[in-house]
Amino acid sequence: MTAVRAVRGATTVAEDTPRHIAAATRELVAELLVRNGLEREAVISLLFTCSPDLTSDTPALALREEGWEVPALCAADTAWAGAPARTVRVLAHVTSYGPLAPVYLGDSAPTRPAQSPR
């Protein structure tokens, strides 16, 4: 039986340009599929967030230009003291039989601090 599951990932972007955001997004989603043994057809939807310093483009547009036709939503990540710069995060909803592994590329990290410095 196939289950609907979610898997997270993140990457950092070298510069706030449409070209860099697109390249980082494509690499992140491709690696998420490869590491989890998923086909593109397994992706139901994608929820992206970008750190507040990424304003030149959106990850969903980068995938749309590659021919992706799944629902994709972009949102701004919350700004907080110590937040990582130039970061794109994704929550991918997929159909999958087995366990899923999150993917973190570049300088991104799997978890954020429990609380920001005060």
> Tokens in use for 75?
């949102």
CA 115 to chain centre: 22
Q: What is the pLDDT of residue 97?
A: 85
Contact 91, 102 (CB under 8 A): no
CA–CA gap between residue 52 and residue 78 (Å, rounded): 7
37-47 pLDDT, tens per residue? 999 999 999 99
- What DSSP letter does each residue of the chain carry, written as one string? --EEEEEEEEEE-SSSSHHHHHHHHHHHHHHHHHHTT--GGGEEEEEEEE-TT--S--HHHHHHHTT--S-EEEEEPPP-TTPPSSEEEEEEEEEESS----EE-TT--SS--SS---
Q: What is the pLDDT of residue 82?
A: 78
Contact 105, 87 (CB under 8 A): no
Q: What is the pLDDT of residue 115?
A: 53
Which pLDDT tens digits describe the chain residue by residue (118 residues)?
678 999 999 999 999 999 999 999 999 999 999 999 999 999 999 999 999 999 999 999 989 998 999 999 999 998 877 788 999 999 999 999 889 999 999 988 765 555 545 4
The pTM of the full predicted model, rounded to 2 decimals, is 0.89
